[in-house]
Structure formats: C-alpha cells, structure tokens
Structure 1
Amino acid sequence: MTVIDYGATPPVAEARMPTQSHLSNYRRVYAKAEAESGRHDETRTLDDFFADCDSAGVVRTVIKARDVETTFGGKIRNEDIAALCRSYPDRFIGFAGVDPNKGMEAVREFEFAVRELGLRGLNLQCFENRLPIDDRRIYLLYAKCVELNVPVNIHTGINFSLESSPEYGRPEMLDRVLCDFPELRVCASPPGWPWVLELLSVAWRHPNLWIGVVAVRPRILAKENSGYGPLLQYGSTVLQDRIIWGSAHPMMPIARTVDEVRSLPLEEDVQQKWLKENACSFLNLADV
C-alpha cells in the first residue's frame, strides 16, 4: 500500500525556519523522537530523506512554508517551497505560508503563491502568529482560499512554545470559521489535544473539516487515558473518511509512524483511508 505524508520537512536549509528560539521547548518535548529520526545529523541529504520515504511507501509528501516575521522574525519562503516542488514534482506538494498580521499584503502574497508559484494550499500556525483561528485578519485569507479552491492547514490543540498561548489552538474556533465559510476545506492538525472531543464535535458538524494525525505518535491513540481514545473511536467509524496521517519528520521517524498506524485496531480499508485516500480527497488529487 502506498502512502501520502501530510507533513514533513526535508533536510534542506530552504525548508527550515531560520529562527527557532520560540520553539526551543519543542526540542525538549520531542528530544527522543528527533534523535531517532536524525534531526541533528548534519550529514543527512535529500537522497537519505527520499530513501526513508521509499522504505515507508510514501509516494508524496506535503511540505509547508511559514511566515512568522511580525511575531518571531522568521520565514520559510513560498518561493523556496515552490522551487523544491518544481524540482521534485513526483515527491512534493507545497503549501504556502503567509503572515495574517500583514493584512492585504499577506492576501496578495498568498494569491501569487497559488496562481504563479503553483502552491496548492495555505499553512497557518496561528500560535506562531499569536492570532486566534477565527481572527478577522485571517478571514481575508479564508475567503481567498475559497476563491482559489485550495485547502488550509490550521494548527489545533496545545503548542509547546513558552512564548505563545495554547488558547490559539482551541478547536471550537473552527466551528465559527466553518459556519462563515462552509465551502472552506480545512485540515486541523495536530489533532486537538487536550480538546480532542471538542475537535471531533466540530468535525462531525462540518463535512469540510479533516483531522491530521500529525506530530503525535499514532500508537498513543490506543493507549488508555491518553486523551486520544475518542479520536480512534470516531476515526474508525463516522469520521473514518476525514483522518489524515502525517509524520512531522524530523520530529518523528517516517517509517515508524506508518507502522504504528498499521498496528492500530483499524480495518485495513480504514488504515488506507488514513494513510492515503483521505489526503487525496482533501488535496483534490487524482489517485497517485
């Protein structure tokens, strides 16, 4: 079975955020997993990354730009992500990143990224922009997503930055957004912890909301009292068509997280939905 990875960072400078100080606590939280994935191995190359993808059956990887210039002074440029996608069109699918705090400048930059650079979605890490998911400044971008018919990835759940608030990731704000933009395709990732039930309720209400099992070890979904049990329950039944897996590499090893999805108590057809088919639906991809 082939797989689509809904979120990874290849080992090239252009795909890394140059300013990482606001994310330093992530290095503590994910230290063990990052060591296993080779995050700090400066000798790793794109060929090594592609070999990891091949060993896990990954045929496409979504890579994402980010813009946090007004808050933390960093940016992964749309032009650089687009260049990687052009160089490896059979490997990468690119999402644009813009800073909603920049107002109409961000809207114009996003439109250029889609129409001219060929990027295929929008990536919003609202905790890094220090904005609620339903902030009026982001509404300009949601409207543009609908106009361009591209999806948006939105960080939900807790963040581990000690320079931002977890409240920026509350899933209930997605309900207000989707009531105002019922045509908007959204993937909420990571999957909302500690507000997992809140996220599931919003997804059940809105057919255009997918949930990304990203930056969390899939095996934890089956652990008693982890807080993720309802995600496994609903993700195997009424929401089985709207769960999308991503490795978050180099935060976690690619093959290990794929194996952990396949080890969950899910029917084989549901596993394949999580690992590929739902991503194809969200991304408007023909089968790959």
Structure 2
Amino acid sequence: MLIDFSSRPPHPDFNPPAPHLQNYRRVYANSEARSAGADEGQGLKSWLETYDRLNARHVVLKARDLTTTFGFKISNESVAGFVRQHGPRYIGFAGVDPWQDDAVATFEHAVRDLGLRGLNLQCFELKMTPDDPRLFALYEKAVELDVPVNIHCGINFSTQTPMSVGKPEHIDNVMVRFPQLRAVASPPGWPWVQELLGVAWRHPNLYIGVLAVRPKLLSKPHSGYEALLQYGRTILREKMIFGSAFPMMPIGQALQELQELGLDDETFRLWTSGNALRLLGLPEG
C-alpha cells in the first residue's frame, strides 16, 4: 500500500505562474529535469497511470491561497474538482489566506461543502510564522472539524521571506497551545532536523513529512539528515510520512530511493501508508 503525501498534478489548475518561487526553479533545476524526463512527467495521463501502476491508495493534493502576499492561488475549488473527477484515490487539503477576514469560513466551507480533508499552510509564502496568532482560529477550526494541518518546516528558497519562519520551535509553540491538533511538519526541517525530531518526540499528534528531499540523503554522511533516518527507523518510526514532492522529484525514483534505505518491512509500511492513515483519520485495510 502506498500513500503519497505530496504530489502536484501536471495540470494548469495546479501550476499557475509563480514568480516568487523563481529561486526554487534554480535550486531544483536538475531534479525537476529528471521528473520532466520520467514517464510521470509527460502529462496528466502518464501521472495518473503512474499511481495506477503503483496501486497507490491515496495521493494528497494541496491547495494554496497566497492572494495577499504574492497574488498566487491553487484554489480549493480546483483541488475539489480534480478529486471529484479522478476518484477517491485523491485527497485534497484546503488552502486559505489568513490575511483575509473570511479565512476560517473559507476553510470550513472547503471541508464541509467541498469535501477537502485537511489544511495546508506554507507559512513562508504567507509571510508569517506557524505560531502567528492570526493562525490560531484556523487551528481551532481544524480541531473542531477533526482534520489535520500540513505546516511547512525548514529552509525555504523564496528569498522574499526569511528562512527563520521555518524553524521547528514555531511548530512546537503551536502544539503546546493546541495539543489536540493533528499536524505534520514538512519538509523535514533541514537545517534544523534534530530540533524537529525533538519537537515531534514531545508531541504525540505531530508527524514529520519526508518529502522535498531525496530519500538517499537520509543515509548520506554529513547531509544533515542522518538523524532523521536513525530516529525514524527506531523510536520515531510512527511519525514519518513519505511524499514524492513531484515534480521536484520523479515519483518512482523517490520511492526507489526510500526502498534502498534498508528499512525493515514494518517501518517501511509505516512510512509509506500506516502513519499517513493515522494522520488522515482513515482506517487501515
């Protein structure tokens, strides 16, 4: 069973112009070129067929609303429409603009009326830290609706927002204030990986998204990710959630590199499906 917690379809609704992410294109140029050359990079049909071939149970798609900060939006309606069209394999997370007065109402509408199953907060794009008080009402609503929140963690390459907004300590503050919140910190916190491990260890409802990083780096000396593998295959193995982060990396290659880490069968199952099912509140089997 496979759950890909991070993938973006090669579809116009999911790929509007994003000038604020131009530096990402420089940083990820080589890996995105590999995605473009892979089968799943040749269009939506091939992308869908890749998940058919992998017999994926679920693929998580994330909306983003950066209207105030960058004039960028992947709308909740577009994500919900894609899910309706392509079936229950696909699960949508809502995106809202917390600078707008209707953010909480928009989030509730996305869950109750559009059928989305979580909230996506790319805080560096929102130009606020995860523990900004303007987000508190959204966390409260997520607890009320019993849906998880994805919170960006670690470095960002936008250069229009300080990278310090991604420090794990901000997520620690959120979890202290909202201990019932189910949340996932993703990507996995580099260059503050050990701090994120400590935060996840402290809080039962916080998971770590192993995405937007080549899995092979987890076993590479001096990469800064070694502790993620050490703790992720032992005491924190029920915290790790895999995502390919396509198109940053080909789906198949990300999964192959994960398989090559030498995780035992049960740990591999937890990373690739069991933990995500628990975060999403879905039954196994």
Q: Structure 2: which 5+ residue stretches go unaligned? A: none
Distance 1:40 1:261, change over 3 A: closer
Shift of 1:246: 0.3
1:154 to 136, 151, 158: 151
Letter in 2 for 1:138: L
What is the identity, as a one-letter code, of the residue corresponding to 2:8?
T
Whole-Å separation in 2 of the counterparts to 1:268 and 1:260: 15
1:59-106, Cα deviation, whole Å (9 max, x unpaired):
32100000111010011100110011111223210000001111x311
* 1:110-154 deviations in Å (ceiling 9; x for gaps): 000000000000000000000011000011100000010000000
RMSD: 1.7
Question: Helix, strand or coil for the counterpart of 2:224?
Answer: coil
The two structures have a TM-score, normalised by structure 1, of 0.95
Partner of 2:229: 232
Q: Distance in 2 between matches of 1:53 and 1:260?
A: 17
Shift of 1:46: 2.2
CA shift in 2, pair 1:218/1:229, >3 Å:
same
Residue aligning to 2:256: 259
Q: Which residue of 2 aligns with 1:20?
A: 18
Kept after mapping to 2: 8 A contact 1:19/1:72: no
CA shift, 1:269, in A, is: 1.1
Partner residue of 1:270 out of 236, 260, 267:
267
- 1:71: which partner in 2? 69
Partner of 2:88: 90
Render the CA deviation track for 1:217-241: whole Å, top value 9, x for unaligned.
Answer: 0000000010101110110111101
Aligned match for 2:34, one of 29, 33, 36: 36
Q: Which residue of 2 is the match for residue 281 of structure 1?
A: 278
Aligned letter for 1:280? L
Question: Residues 228 and 45 of structure 1: is their aligned pair in 2 closer, same or farther, counting only changes over 3 Å?
Answer: same
Which residue of 2 is the match for residue 196 of structure 1? 193
Q: Which residue of 2 aligns with 1:187?
A: 184
Q: Hey, what's the Cα distance between the residues in 2 that align with 1:153 and 1:12? A: 22
The AA in structure 2 aligned to 1:85 is V
Aligned length in residues: 285
Q: How many percent of aligned residue pairs carry the same amino acid?
A: 52
Cα distance in 1 for residues equivalent to 2:171 and 2:88: 32
Structure 1, 260-269 or 196-205: larger mean CA deviation = 260-269
Secondary structure at 1:164 match in 2: coil
Match of 1:145 among 130, 137, 142: 142
Alignment-mate amino acid for residue 125 of structure 1: Q
Instruction: Give the drift of 1:40.
Output: 11
State whether residues 214 and 245 of structure 1, in contact with CA within 8 Å, keep that contact through their aligned partners in structure 2: yes
**TM-score using structure 2 length:** 0.96
- 1:208 aligned onto 2:202: no
Mapped partners of 1:166, 1:208: distance in 2 = 25
| CA distance in 2: counterparts of 1:153 and 1:213, whole angstroms | 12
Match of 2:167 among 165, 170, 193: 170
Conservation of the 8 A alpha-carbon contact between 1:53 and 1:255: no
- Does 1:3 pair with 2:2? yes
Of 50, 53, 70, the residue aligned with 1:52 is 50
199-208 vs 51-60, which moves further: 51-60
Paired with 1:164 and 1:261, the residues of 2 have a C-alpha distance of 31
Q: Which runs of 5+ in 1 are unaligned?
A: none
SS of the equivalent of 2:57 reads strand
Structure 2 residue matching 1:75: 3-state secondary structure: strand
Helix, strand or coil at the partner of 1:62? strand
